[in-house]
Amino acid sequence: MSIHTTASRQSTGSRESRQSRTGPGRRASSWLRRTAAPRAARVRQALPRLGDQLLALLACAVLAPVLACRALVALAVTGRCLDRMAQVGCQGRRFERLYFSGDHAGRGLASLFNVVRGEIALVGPTPRSLADSAPAWRAEVLATRPGLVSPADAQRRVAIDHEGEQSVLRAHLQRESVRGNAGVLVRSLISRALYGEQDFATPERLSFFGVDVQNVTMDAAVDWIDARTREAGPVFVPFVNPHCLNIAHTDDEYRAILQTSPYVLPDGIGLRVGCRMKRQRLVGNVNGTDLFPRLCERLAASGKGLFLLGAAEGVAQTVADNMQARYPGLNVAGARDGFFNDEEESRVIDEINASGAAVLLVAMGVPRQERWIARNLERLQVPVCMGVGGLFDFYSGNIPRAPLWLREVGLEWTWRLLQEPGRMWRRYLVGNPLFILRVRRELRAADR
Ligand code: UDP
């Protein structure tokens, strides 16, 4: 208190002395500057709200026939047009979020009226219910106007929201712009149309063509691997995507290899699409590329060793250097290329065993790496052996990964296709529809 008083006195004193040094003209201009600054800030704050309100008004005008039809459906089915849900807005102000009554499509369109009223923004954090009491989250939400669409919506729908909404939102706010918000809206609409969820079941395990797949979050997968590194005896942990499952569909030996694993992880948007066809919810898109940095972080904390085997000469070592720079303390026990003949194999296995690594990543491509691990599993004294495909090429910087906006609409595969069309066209242009066809057939067979 006393510090505050002294400080304010000092500041008043210095202001007075400054004013006495200046004339009345200067005083007037400094007064103008002082009052103009908060006004400019207020205008800066009000402009985005006004923009959102105008856009929402425009959307209401364009969608007027749709809104009217949806209101009539609500009225006919439930006897009322709108449902109201109490939610918390900016600065803790309560407001009533509007929904069209009934469970039919377009229920949330009524929330456009909340945007027109200025209660929510077009893009912002998901508004919280009054009952939500997560304190840290609340503080952040209170400072930001909640939105009709959250920057995390698209990531949630394609199951890559591994960091949670809070961190996605923080990243979005750091570089918020009109263009950025428009991108969020577009990606959210696309992901809603392609991967929108209804009330799907969430089984512990998913099953495709006789292969059981864990339905887990990224965090749970990293926890499991971390715990497994403390146990003896090697286990094989593969990632499966539609390409792997297409091979498993026709190749009995490869399918049997996947079936020996106690922990198969779901990789990529294809599994999300397959789950949707089965009316099941995929909890996490646990792909190797997103899991790798988290695994390195965990291994750096536990001190357990990591061995990188695969890709062209020098690539694994570059990945080791990059990850050690990113995660100080990470113990890369060994790194070598994936091009060796049968005679060299024993020497490679001795090298891996002598390294004392707790996790072995084998990046030799599907299905070569799975076959190699299965053939040598009993000889490998490594608790966790994983097949990771082209992972090292991404983390060495040889092949750039698809930008986030493309991943958010589930189109990372188109990026890979454009990078290597000669090799990838069969995998994606033939393989993706084939996978969908096979899932459909599997569903029909289960119904019979
Ligand atoms: N590779 C290897 N040994 C081989 C053949 C391939 O180490 O005998 C490497 C290759 O250099 C590349 C990776 O395996 O880094 C295969 O990448 P791809 O993108 O094909 O993996 P996938 O798409 O099958 O996951």
What DSSP letter does each residue of 184-234 carry, written as one string? HHHHHHHHHHHH---S-B--SEEEETTEEEE---HHHHHHHHHHHTTSSS-
| Atom from ligand 1 closest to the CA of residue 338 | 7
Reported as half-sphere exposure (CB side, CA atoms, 13 A), residue 210 has a value of 15
Cα dihedral 287→293→299→303 (10° resolution) = 160
Give me the pLDDT at residue 241, please: 98
* CA-to-CA dists, residue 315 to 123, 319, 336, 380, 403, angstroms: 41, 6, 8, 22, 22
Whole-number Å distance, alpha carbon 419 to ligand 1 midpoint, is: 15
Give me the pLDDT at residue 20, please: 41
Please tell me the chain's helix, strand, coil percentages from 3-state DSSP, rounded to the nearest 5.
Answer: 60, 15, 25
CA torsion sign, 292 to 293 to 296 to 302?
negative
Count how many residues are written for the chain: 448
Give me the pLDDT at residue 166, please: 84
Mean pLDDT by 10 residues, the chain (448 residues): 34 39 51 60 74 94 97 96 91 89 92 94 86 60 81 93 88 84 93 86 97 98 98 96 98 98 96 95 96 98 98 98 98 98 96 98 98 97 98 97 95 96 97 98 92
* CA-to-CA dists, residue 264 to 167, 236, 250, angstroms: 28, 9, 18
Residues with CB under 6 A from ligand 1: 310-312, 338-339, 363-366, 368, 389-390, 392-393
Mutate to test the pocket of ligand 1, among 368, 388, 401 (most ligand atoms within 8 A of CB): 368
Whole-number Å distance, alpha carbon 383 to ligand 1 midpoint, is: 23
- pTM of the predicted protein model: 0.85
Whole-number Å distance, alpha carbon 423 to ligand 1 midpoint, is: 12
Q: CA-to-CA distance for 215 and 264, rounded, in angstroms? A: 9
